[in-house]
Amino acid sequence: MRISRRAQSVAPFYAMEFGKHAAALEAEGHHVVKLSLGEPDFGAPPAVTRAMREVVGSRPMSYAAALGLPELRRAIAGFYGDRHGVDLDPARVVVTAGASAALVLAAAALVDAGDEVLIGDPSYPCNRQIMESFGAEVTLVPAGAASRFQLDAASVRSYWTRNTRGIMVATPSNPTGTSVPPTELAALCDLARERDAWRLVDEIYLDLADHDEQGRPPRSALAHDPDAFVVNSFSKYFGMTGWRLGWCVVPEVLVPVLERLAQNYFLCASTPAQYAALACFTPESLAVCEERRAEFGRRRALVLEGLAAIGLPVPVPPDGAFYVYFDVSGTGLTSWEFCERALSEAHVALTPGRDFGVHTAETHVRLSYAASAKELREGIVRLGKFVANLR
């Protein structure tokens, strides 16, 4: 069968190869410490699971509106008001099958063949794969420790060409858990807007980011730039990865465009998941999610301390999400070799930098602390012995 060039050019998730190897080790009876997964281990808040049980069987699960259930769009808009101080018209909220579907809609709505898109390196790999599938020429802009592994206005300016049509930022980032400082994010958005380019800000980890000294949550990019294309999800803060539910907030002019695209691509996001997700925004569920955020903070401290003790430097400590991006160059191994050997010799699963770009790919490894404190401690002990044996 003839496979499209587009499909052939999509790179695999290298982490999957490690996943297969980890599964094979487990099948042989080994206990593998999995610090490679990008999903919280908590699951949905209990009220959401309860709501799902009630919803199923109580009504026919017909298609919802392509833009999402009106009551869920209102609830999401209300969340921006309560938590982020952004007064948002619910009409600008589009409910999607995870942030992933929002990214597909963004690419379909914004990209023509040959348009150049600037994305930081390292970054979430699907961003560039989706953009390229729609014909974009993606330029990976090297982003090192000095800019918190994130795009900054100076580098974007220097990489800008006459074909640049948009920039993509995820803050906090996967794989580094580091955020773009608010003033820098404002400068990035201003720069793109002044050049008539779109700016897509992926805020899927925003609500898992640290609060400031006054206890205020970080602000959405919408607070500075109401016309940014902002992507978010129920997957991470609400722990609902498998429910396949997310959303985007888009400029008014894009709403009918996304409606047409969503009608054709997806018809709608999961109807039962949308009804159940209404229970995310109750005080009870938000309190559960805040406790989980605090737990991630404790786990992060444990991991940072552990990695420092075994001599694996973290160039920029994360301030959100549940990832640590550490440097293995001192071990004499590439990140790929490090991950391969850590898995086969110490039975610890990690993700090599290669999944996230090229710039720091060979020297850095992503560790996910979305695992229990007990597993994290065990993982650090095993990595400590493994690293000591290398020296």
The footprint of ligand PLP (CB under 6 A) covers: 38, 98-100, 124, 170, 174, 202, 204, 233, 235, 241, 246
Residue that has been written with the tokens 């949550």 in this structure: 217
Residue that has been written with the tokens 């992503």 in this structure: 366
- 122 DSSP 8-state letter: S
Residue closest to 95 by CA, chosen among 79, 111, 118, 117: 79
- 17 DSSP 8-state letter: H
Q: Which residue type sits at 348?
A: V
Mapped onto helix, strand or coil, the DSSP state of residue 52 is helix
Closest CB 149 distance from ligand PLP, rounded Å: 13
Rounded-to-integer distance, Cα 243 and Cα 262, Å: 18
259: tokens are 């409606």
Q: Which CA distances in Å does 88 have to 81, 226, 228, 252? A: 7, 9, 13, 11
CB closer to ligand PLP out of 166 and 246: 246
Rounded-to-integer distance, Cα 216 and Cα 231, Å: 21
Closest CB 231 distance from ligand PLP, rounded Å: 7
CB closer to ligand PLP out of 200 and 333: 200
245: tokens are 């539910």
CB closer to ligand PLP out of 99 and 185: 99
Rounded-to-integer distance, Cα 112 and Cα 166, Å: 11
CB closer to ligand PLP out of 96 and 285: 96
Under a CB-based contact definition with an 8 Å cutoff, are residues 44 and 288 in contact? Answer: no
Q: Which residue type sits at 344?
A: S
Contacts of 137 (CB under 8 A, 6+ apart): 114, 115, 116, 117, 163
First to last CA, the chain: 50
CB closer to ligand PLP out of 164 and 232: 232
Closest CB 233 distance from ligand PLP, rounded Å: 3
Cis omega (within 30 of 0) on the bond before 90?
Answer: no
- Cβ of 125: how many Cβ atoms within 10 Å? 21
CB closer to ligand PLP out of 261 and 387: 261
CB closer to ligand PLP out of 218 and 306: 218
CB closer to ligand PLP out of 299 and 382: 299
CB closer to ligand PLP out of 201 and 254: 201
Residue closest to 109 by CA, chosen among 90, 131, 139: 131
Q: State which residue has the least CB distance to ligand PLP.
A: 98
The four Cα atoms 234, 236, 237, 242 give a dihedral, to 10 degrees, of 50
75: tokens are 């609830």
CB closer to ligand PLP out of 356 and 386: 356
Residue that has been written with the tokens 């229970």 in this structure: 279
Number of residues assigned to the chain: 391
Under a CB-based contact definition with an 8 Å cutoff, are residues 38 and 16 in contact? Answer: no
